[in-house]
Structure 1
Amino acid sequence: MTEVVFVHHTSDVSGAERVLLDLVAHGHRCGDVVTVVCPRGPLTELLPGAVRHVAIPSLGLGGAQGLRRGVAAAEYAMRSARAARVIGRTHGDRHIANSLLALPALRSSGRTFGYLGHDVAHRRSQRAILRLSRRALSGAVAVSAETASPLRPLGIDCRVAVNGTTWPVPARTVELGRPPVVGMLALLTPWKGHHVLLDAVADIPGVHVEFAGRALPADRGYTDDLRRRARRPDLRDRVHFLGHVPAATALARWDVAVSASIAPEAGPLAVLEAMAHGVPTVATDHGGSRSYLGGTGLLVPPNDPAALASALDRALGDMPLRRVLSAASRERIAEVHDSTRTIPALYNALVHDTASDE
């Protein structure tokens, strides 16, 4: 039996938090004693009853810009210091940072810890946090090769253990709906690139767009911008905001799934879910989307509506291609990304393979 402590910076629930919940449940089934250190909120409400929760302040930066960003950074440093004191008192055989923004608190706690990389460190600020934390790191596990790539030049020992998704699941028919629908499974936040998809579909008459995902409070302005864009004549009555719905429900309606992120995603679960259901997928050519698709989808440059529109035309209009992509993506999920195998492998890599004595 191992006492495992996961530390996470937020209680909002998105992809990294869903992976955390799967890891926690697996650890509990294995007989380990699992503690989750994170702010109170939606994530803590989803923890299994036998899992201990220890509360800390939110360690997010809140999307602040300009002068406000400096104030937010100072507030973040103070909250990290308070969290470090809590983490220092939390007993465990193995401490694991489940997010990059949790690293400073763990470093200041005096603990040796592992790191699960859910972020592609493409910004200088991210790499600075990693440099400051690396001496306390016993090792890191990245959810894609693209996530591991920026860590190794920093001298961080890193291995790759990929994300997975539920398998098997029913396949969506490759026949086009009337009207054809393209969709995105993602929080309504600027870096996910919903606005790029809207500009692309504006040039494809008759195609509808569905967004399945909610907005965080800090991103309500972005959601308002999307709704205003959707009301313009070239998109009017063709864009639908579904809110939070189960992935399977949304994917059953879609002819093409899109990941339009303008910043690289480490291990996009939405891409895996679309692949599992055999929905042809178009994604931006950076981050983990490239290796996850593995040639079973179409890739486009980020922030390029014209390229995205061209790829959507192909994915919607070429029926033989649709059949090939659908079958190949489901085969890849079965071989590489079945969560009944990926979650145990990820947990073992974090808890055992990168462990060191406290």
Structure 2
Amino acid sequence: MSADSPARDLVFVAHSGQASGAEKVMLGLVDLALSRGHRVRVACPDGPLSALLPAAVERVPIPELGLTGQRGGRRLLAATTMARHWVRAARVFRALSRRDRAQIIVNSTMALPAVALARPRRGSTVWLVHDILASRRQVLVAKAGRRAVGRAVAVSERAADPVRQLGFDVRVARQGVPWPVEPVPVRERAPVVVGILGVITEWKGHHVLLDAVAQVPEIALEIAGAAHPGDEPYLDALRERSQRTNLAGRVRFLGRVDAMTTLRDWDILVSASVLPEAGPLVVLEAMSLGVAVVATDHGGNVTADTALCVPADDPSALRAALRRLADDPALRAQLRAAGRTHVATHHDRSHTEPRMLNLLVGEAHPVRFGY
């Protein structure tokens, strides 16, 4: 710890106990903060995330702070429960900020109202923005946190813009992945293996991908990830759809997996989100390995020169892109090279992660120019 960067008491806040891309970024920051000598705590609900916390990290239990896959009357009941949970969590955050003098790093949008209710010390709270505020609900939730969080760090420019429009002071710090990594071998095989990896919930577009793959018999599909609590009916519907004649025998559900190990078995990764994403981490992981990417065209780290981009919620466009990529090894090779160069240039975690933590906690550790 340098003289101009004294040890801090940091509390990272996650609204859910699940572990997806945003939590993966947070865990990397936790490890880096520990290596710098900071005291680190993580406030999160029960769930898989707890098991991933380093031994040196104290977990602060809080209730679930977001909605999941409930519908109809159950969703109204869940919203009422969520409001009560915000109040309970606010008591915890108030003690952390005022009594313990901790700096709070809010890792998820849905935790903002609870932090606002806590009325933390001025300047003690910063928001790490992983979401593009694309819905009225997200905007309202962000506005609720405005009085408590004046400063934000967004993982992409696409994520930063709507937050700036709400009056937040926003900096941008790109996400990163380990680099360099050994690329997957160049191979030609039939069928071509296509995969989708992440939390299984409707807005991630798994149903769109199934509809697309149904008309491309030369493709085998693997679906990696688990459903959030409340989204189990959606997963059941996907499983039922995969048993129909035009997909039967071509779809495997893998459950929770190690991302990098699983990606190495795929020829193509699909990011099929029907709502905007700030920057899917799994896309960067795939690019680093040289796995070709097909993605909806609103992702913050997806560009036309590194992936085949398609409109959201468009099975026909996604089908055409998959067929084109499956039939064109030269195009896959082109995307392989472009993706790896993009990661090396812009998303090397050894540079992006220190910059992100510096912006979050106001430290002055040196980072390479350009990050």
Q: Match of 2:3?
A: none
Q: Match of 1:107?
A: 116
Match among 63, 67, 73 for residue 79 of structure 2: 73
- Give TM-score, length-normalised by structure 2: 0.91
Match among 27, 37, 58 for residue 31 of structure 1: 37
Please state how far the C-alpha of 1:157 moved relative to its aligned partner. 1.1
Please state how far the C-alpha of 1:216 moved relative to its aligned partner. 2.7
Please state how far the C-alpha of 1:294 moved relative to its aligned partner. 6.1
C-alpha distance 151-214 of structure 1, shift in aligned 2 (>3 A): same
Match among 321, 324, 333 for residue 331 of structure 2: 321
In structure 1, how many angstroms separate the alpha carbons of the residues matched to 2:103 and 2:55?
21
In structure 2, how many angstroms separate the alpha carbons of the residues matched to 1:149 and 1:159?
10
Unaligned 5+ residue runs, structure 1? none
**What one-letter code is carried by the residue in structure 1 that aligns with 2:103?**
R
Please state how far the C-alpha of 1:68 moved relative to its aligned partner. 2.7
Please state how far the C-alpha of 1:201 moved relative to its aligned partner. 1.1
1:52 corresponds to 2:58: yes
Q: Match of 2:312?
A: 302
- Give TM-score, length-normalised by structure 1: 0.94
1:128 corresponds to 2:134: no
1:13 and 1:43 in contact (8 A); partners too:
yes
2:68 and 2:231 in contact (8 A); partners too:
no
In structure 1, how many angstroms separate the alpha carbons of the residues matched to 2:211 and 2:105?
40
Equivalent positions of 1:312-351 (< 5 A) are 312-351=322-361
C-alpha distance 155-314 of structure 1, shift in aligned 2 (>3 A): same
Q: How many residues align?
A: 352
Q: Match of 2:272?
A: 260
Query: Which range moves more in the overlay, 131-140 or 19-28?
Result: 131-140
**What one-letter code is carried by the residue in structure 2 that aligns with 1:128?**
L
1:209 and 1:239 in contact (8 A); partners too:
yes
Q: Match of 1:188?
A: 200
Quick one: percent identity of the two aligned structures? 48
1:139 corresponds to 2:151: yes
C-alpha distance 77-40 of structure 1, shift in aligned 2 (>3 A): same
Deviations 1:114-161 (A, max 9, x none): 101111110111111111221221300111111112111111111111
In structure 2, how many angstroms separate the alpha carbons of the residues matched to 1:138 and 1:183?
39
Please state how far the C-alpha of 1:200 moved relative to its aligned partner. 0.7
Match among 3, 6, 16 for residue 10 of structure 1: 16
In structure 1, how many angstroms separate the alpha carbons of the residues matched to 2:329 and 2:22?
34
1:144 and 1:161 in contact (8 A); partners too:
yes
Q: Which runs of 4+ in 1 moved over 6 A?
A: none
2:179 and 2:348 in contact (8 A); partners too:
yes
2:203 and 2:274 in contact (8 A); partners too:
yes
1:94 corresponds to 2:103: yes
Unaligned 5+ residue runs, structure 2? 1-6, 365-371
In structure 2, how many angstroms separate the alpha carbons of the residues matched to 1:197 and 1:176?
22
In structure 1, how many angstroms separate the alpha carbons of the residues matched to 2:355 and 2:40?
17
Deviations 1:68-123 (A, max 9, x none): 32222221111111111111111244211111111111111111411011111101
Deviations 1:29-84 (A, max 9, x none): 00111111122332122211221221111112232222332222221111111111
In structure 2, how many angstroms separate the alpha carbons of the residues matched to 1:177 and 1:243?
24
In structure 2, how many angstroms separate the alpha carbons of the residues matched to 1:57 and 1:251?
33
In structure 2, how many angstroms separate the alpha carbons of the residues matched to 1:63 and 1:230?
21
Q: Match of 1:233?
A: 245
C-alpha distance 253-45 of structure 1, shift in aligned 2 (>3 A): closer
